[in-house]
Chains A and B, each alone.
Chain A
Amino acid sequence: MRAVTDPAELLLRRLMRLLRWRLWVQEKLQPTEWQVTLLWAALAGFLGALSSILFTGLAEGVHDLFGYSGNGVGVVESMRQLPWWGCLLVPALGGMCAGLVLLLGKHIAPGQSSTDYMEVIAIGNGHVPMRASLVKSAAALFSIGSGGSIGREGPMVQLAAVLASFIGRWRQFTPPQLRLIVACGAAAGIASAYNAPIAGSFFVAEIILGTIAMESLGPLAVSAVVATLTVRVLTAAHVLYRVPAFHLNSPLEMGPYVVLGLLTGVLAPLFLRSLRQAEGFFVGLKLPLVARLTLGGLAVGAIAINVPQVAGNGYSVVVQILNGGLVWKVLLGIAACKWLATMASFGSGAPGGVFTPSLFMGASAGYLFGLAVHAVWPAAAQDPRAFALVGMGAFLSAASRAPVMAVIMLFEMTLSYDIILPLMLCSVIAYYTARGLDTRSLYSESLKTKAAAAESLAPFSTETRVADLMRVKPPVVGETARFAEIARLFLNVRVNNLYVVDAAGRFKGVVSLHDIKPYLGEPDLAELVLARDILHEDFPRVAPEQPLAEALGGFLGIAAERLPVVEPDGTLRGSLSKGDLLLALVEKRKKPVAA
């Protein structure tokens, strides 16, 4: 065989051989778009967990800063140790600091009004503003660390969502992808806060995305799992509520559980309505922000002088309830005071969540109801603590309007499977009862307002077109690009079809990786074959103005992950990803929860 001596030809041969091997390796290892999405979801989960751990640490730091005793003592215990004036001063001071931070934030992040991750996922473009969210979270540190009657899951989820949004913007995700990655961040936040990966996924799927389609649930699950694992590895995470083993002792018990479902279904909307009324009351005072939050803290402190259990999110009291450590009269008093304290914190605008306070209300209602039934008919409620557990799930289901998430979360937080039958029944009854009484849920208010605003501003929420999802500047080659150039481009961009355009930017067709793959070892083709020689002119395409459902038809019958977006005059505008399209269509099947 004639030995090749021409250095240029030798180089070309080596290059083509290298290209062939690299392409082979790349093809074997090349993840699909969905697999890549899962990788980013995992990163969002990891960062979300880190941010949650950081937030928890900082909240404890703030807790110590306010003169509490520290050493891992909870907010309730700290409050108990304070003198009366300390009980008044600390939450008031915390509210004031939170207000000052929010005030300062208005200067640091002017104009960044839509900071809520739920709005961003459900109706926004997936862009969670970084500075405004950090300001809100910093303010939450003070309201939570000082003993405000508010949950910390809100800011934890917000922070996780911000980081996820940052990843998405860094990778230049399309709006549906960006919303999905932010949703992954939110799922990671919930999973980290409650050590509950399944509930974390379903929280976002059920409440915010409004769908449990695999296109979105898969990434949510990956993110939540990674977040939970991270928290478990880096901290001493454990089952949130350790409960004794509960048994359904008699089918008769199902009767009282039905009544408990109805009861929590009535109580939850009342609780939410009272929070809104408290908010209206504080707004009606027309006080400056700092004064309003200080007043809210002061109110919580005033209640905490006699009932320190109202401080914080209510976690420690729930643990006491589940272990039967409270008598009914005391609990009734604590629950009533906690209700008022949550109204004061939430109403004054203290940043934080009401998720855990809702669990508290459910546990109290369930336990008190169980005790009452037990007193009248012991056989129908042998263990009132089981009613507390079921009450938590039912109240959460009625407040959040997410019964699936509520059932799963209760199961994950307690790992008590025996309670699942009454829990499911009770949660569903509570959900329907609450829905019949009030259409608004824990999360619907802001979404509703923002949805109305978004409808008028963004065409996305009405009739989404291909142009809204299109990725601009797809990789292209000219008609006269040579085989070697085409092969190199395939190596640099992760596509299976390269778009070919003429000098005026008009779409001429595609070159398929599948076609050229077997010939990468042929140096003679490197200069002989041009893009136009191996062009598929009949490749399907979509128009920018086409509705999404119509565009989906373009993907029928071909294995392509993307289609070119071409103007009627032939100009190539971008590419449409099948993944983006499916996500958008899944989203389109539902409206924001508020609607």
Chain B
Amino acid sequence: MTTPIDLIAHPDVLALELQATSGVEAIRALHARLGAVGGAVTDAPRFLADLVERAAMASVCIAADIAVPHARTGAVGRMVLAVGRSTQDVAFDPEHPGVRLVFLIGTPRAAVADYLKLVAGLARLLKKPGVRAGLLAAKTEAEFLARLARGAESKR
């Protein structure tokens, strides 16, 4: 079984050229990519609705340029993570108009502990010196993933 930390090192989806100007657009784009991952999302429309509803309820940003839209939902069969990087500012909410990194999470309803582990793991990783800048500067998917993996591994 994939642990939350493994998932950070090996996300289901990685989109380095995320095309979005708003939070909802970013969510839709990553959600669409996740839909293509076989078996992970069991009810795509519902999953999207849950993500959007949650983002509308309260800010999902953990830094000025990082958003973690998430939903605990019955629409996923397992925990999923999609990572997106935008070259332009994505306005998630009025207080976070310049988001560049988006980590979209979907967790089954019963997986409360895993959800917290994943979110906390991501937050810790992105607070590490150089990680955020490294992710923003990564030239290739492999480099991006390697930085993610290094950060995730060092925290174990």
A-side residues, CB < 8 A to B, are 1-2, 480, 482, 512, 515-516, 518-519, 522, 524-525, 527-530, 532-538
Contacts and interface: CB of A to CB of B under 8 A. Distances in A.
B58 interface: yes
11 contacts: A522-B124, A525-B116, A528-B68, A528-B119, A528-B123, A530-B54, A533-B54, A534-B72, A534-B112, A534-B115, A537-B109
Contact of B113 (A480, A515, A535): A515
Contacts of A2: 129
Contact of B120 (A480, A525, A538): A525
A533 B123 contact: no
Interface string B98-137: 0000000000011011011001100110010100000000
A477 to B, nearest CB: 14
A209 B82 CA distance: 62
B117 to A, nearest CB: 8
Interface of B: 54, 57-62, 68, 70, 72, 109-110, 112-113, 115-116, 119-120, 123-124, 127, 129
Nearest to B105: A533
A516 B129 contact: no
User: Which residue, of A522, A536, A538, has the highest number of chain B Cβ atoms within 10 A?
Assistant: A522
Contacts of B72: 532-535
Contacts of A527: 58-59
Contacts of A533: 54, 70, 72, 115
Given A480-B58, A528-B62, A515 B116 contact: yes
Given A522-B123, A522-B124, A524-B127, A529 B116 contact: yes
Nearest to A527: B59
A525 B123 contact: yes
Nearest to B63: A524
B112 A529 contact: no
Given A1-B129, A522-B124, A535-B72, A529 B119 contact: yes
Contacts of B58: 480, 482, 527, 530
A139 to B, nearest CB: 62
A519 B120 contact: yes
10 cross-chain pairs, A with B, having the tightest CB-CB distances, nearest first: A524-B123, A522-B120, A524-B62, A534-B112, A519-B120, A515-B112, A1-B129, A519-B116, A528-B62, A530-B58
A539 B61 CA distance: 29
Nearest to A482: B58
Contacts of B119: 525, 528-529
Given A515-B112, A533-B72, A528 B129 contact: no
A2 B112 CA distance: 31
Contacts of B60: 528
Contacts of B129: 1-2
A99 B130 CA distance: 89
User: Which residue, of B54, B60, B68, B112, has the highest number of chain A Cβ atoms within 10 A?
Assistant: B112
Nearest to B122: A524
B67 to A, nearest CB: 10
Nearest to B67: A528
Given A480-B58, A524-B62, A528-B119, A538 B127 contact: no
Given A2-B129, A522-B124, A524-B62, A480 B112 contact: no
B59 A516 contact: no
Contacts of A1: 129
